[in-house]
Structure 1
Amino acid sequence: MDHGTLLVNNTDRFGINNSTLEFTLVCFPEVHSWDISGLLLFFLLGALFSNMTLFVVIVLEPRLHHPMYYILAMLSVVDICLSVVATPKILVMLWTGSTTVMANACFSQMFFINLFSAGESSIFLVMAYDRYVAICSPLHYSSIITKGFVAKACVFILVRNMAVALPMSLLAAGLDYCSSREILHCFCENMSVEKLSCSDNTSSSIYGLVVFILIGGSDLLLIVISYFVILRTVVVARSFSAASKAFRTCGSHLIVICMFYITIATTMVSNRAVKEIPRPVHVVLSLLHQLLSPALNPVVYGALTKEIQHAILRILGKIKIHP
């Protein structure tokens, strides 16, 4: 995916401007490229098809024009962006053998990966709050979760995540890169790129860790608390059918959410602390983070919802096939 460039003015120790540097991506040299590319293509097409379908259904079906489904449409857009920010480039690399990437394109890819990853975390939090209000304060739902609330949430997500993602890319771009320019990854991931620097990358590394703990950690904690309160409220209501439905819904949501955060946490830990984790495992977890969650979200949040199912059937029922 071709992105805009982030200009870099620093020079390496050989006097070469970083913006003219080229990195080499070393993806899976020990595995046949077609084996990996087939799996990546499958997940990519699945993520694109499911998210585009869900977004189109929400747009076309008037009965879904409510704040809850607007938030779900936002998640579909972010999932599409996250799945295409690096995967198409990886597929081209595996198919053609073209493994070089310009430094500016690399840092730009890094920025968008961080932006959309943080965006998905933020939307998970907004969706958890939406479910909390719907179940724990149903009488106030229509006055709290409004179109204005969705608009404010959208602005909050964009501003917060731009403020988080941009410094991470700029810090990495400001480092000096010397003779070793082989990125042991399939895409420009922060820590894999920063390892190539011949200057001190402590500030960049600490910033990335702090961001993950403060942003990702706080989002996950609030999400878990929200679902815990939801389940407690349903259990106290002593409605077996409602409790059963809530456990199924919340359980599937939490599984997808935990998978999203676990893949990020594992890659960070494997890079910083657990050196004995094989590199292919680290790379696969990073790829799953970009493809598995976007592929599963439309199914868990959309296809399993009766309103979405009925909307799809109504749209299909309006399609007339002429001989």
Structure 2
Amino acid sequence: MSASNTTIFTNPSSFILLGIPGLERAHGWISIPFCAMYTIAALGNVTILLTVKREPSLHEPMYYFLCMLAITDLVLSTSTLPKMLSIFWFNSREINFSACFTQMFFIHSFLKIEGGIFVAMALDRYVAICNPLRHSTILTNSMVAKIGLAVVGRGGILSLPYPFLARQWPYCKTNIIPSTHCEHIAVVKLACGDIRVSSYYGLSVTLFLMGLDVFFIILSYTQILRAIFRLPSKDARLKTFGTCTSHLLVILAFYIPTLFSFLTQRFGHNVPLYYNVLTANMYLLMPPVLNPIIYGVRTKQIRHRLLRLIIHKD
């Protein structure tokens, strides 16, 4: 590892992930909550997938989108957590040059896919509440599949330039990445050349997509709230709004840590490095952990199905 610190090279065969700089002595303790979060995320999202698969009454657009979200969360957490835990437990810091850019692609593409799924779920709630009689004819299985392909295609196509551009730069300073994963801006900062193209692309795509997704979500819920307030009774308004609360909670669980991490990494120059790394990990881990918990607790159909499975087993 000392040779990696001092050798002048161009495009090394591997990078070295430091973990959480400044907190190396605490890696063992930090691994405990991270391991617990990964276990909860894996079990929770697999449970959502199996529950929807086994229950015919859940074969509806809302739950199809929920399954897409669960798969996205599984890929997102699995692309980062195993390597992170190997750093904490076994001091296995080395990651292959190509594997680093592959991880970068998966992180950014599935983050964008998750944002697109939230827009699709907002569309589903809009049609279900504002145009309930045509819900089944508008959001057919083929339409849901087309929306899913569009969301995945958008995430993959817009994320492909991240590793493609980053791979073009000469890396001759160091191969040490001060993070637990191959985060885009942390990697390109190691390059010797002019990285403004990578930096500007990453910034513009993130701001554009986040702004576009949030705009459509707000637009959908503006129409939803108008429809809710037109309902004659308070009980009907509360019951209808209750069908949206799970979606709103998972949106907040995704966008708040993502926006917070993005702002601290870009503009928090006086923020300690370990704080930036921790916030970057939290926005990758919190949604996969919270999404199945929120939907499991807040969605009556899923909750009842799980209870029936538990009682049947007993």
The equivalences for 1:110-121 within 5 A come to 110-121=104-115
**Structure 1 residue 140 displacement after superposition:** 0.9
What's the counterpart of residue 269 of structure 2? 275
What's the counterpart of residue 81 of structure 2? 87
**Structure 1 residue 62 displacement after superposition:** 1.6
Separation of aligned partners in 2, 1:43 and 1:169: 28
What's the counterpart of residue 166 of structure 1? 160
Q: Residue 180 of structure 1 aligns to a residue in which SS? A: coil
The amino acid that maps onto 1:303 is V
The equivalences for 1:175-194 within 5 A come to 175-194=169-188
Contact 2:12 2:175 (8 Å CA) reproduced: no
Contact 2:102 2:163 (8 Å CA) reproduced: yes
The amino acid that maps onto 1:227 is Y
Contact 1:183 1:193 (8 Å CA) reproduced: yes
Q: Percent identity?
A: 37
* Between structures 1 and 2, the one with greater helix share: 2
Match of 1:27 among 20, 24, 33: 20
Alignment of 1:220 onto 2:214: yes
Separation of aligned partners in 2, 1:19 and 1:156: 36
Q: Residue 65 of structure 2 aligns to a residue in which SS? A: helix
Alignment of 1:55 onto 2:43: no
Separation of aligned partners in 1, 2:294 and 2:147: 22
What's the counterpart of residue 134 of structure 1? 128
Match of 2:32 among 38, 43, 53: 38
Q: Residue 160 of structure 2 aligns to a residue in which SS? A: helix
Residues 98 and 314 of structure 1, relative CA distance in 2, 3 Å threshold: same
**Structure 1 residue 215 displacement after superposition:** 1.2
Separation of aligned partners in 1, 2:189 and 2:104: 14
- TM-score, normalised to structure 2, is 0.91
Cα deviation, 1:81-126, whole Å, max 9, x if unaligned, reads: 1111111110011101121212111111000001111111111110
What's the counterpart of residue 77 of structure 1? 71
- The answer for unaligned runs of 5 or more in structure 1 is 1-12
**Structure 1 residue 64 displacement after superposition:** 1.3
- The answer for unaligned runs of 5 or more in structure 2 is 1-6
What's the counterpart of residue 308 of structure 1? 302
Number of paired residues? 307
Q: Residue 277 of structure 1 aligns to a residue in which SS? A: coil
**Structure 1 residue 61 displacement after superposition:** 1.2
**Structure 1 residue 314 displacement after superposition:** 2.9
Residues 249 and 134 of structure 1, relative CA distance in 2, 3 Å threshold: closer
Residues 177 and 205 of structure 1, relative CA distance in 2, 3 Å threshold: same
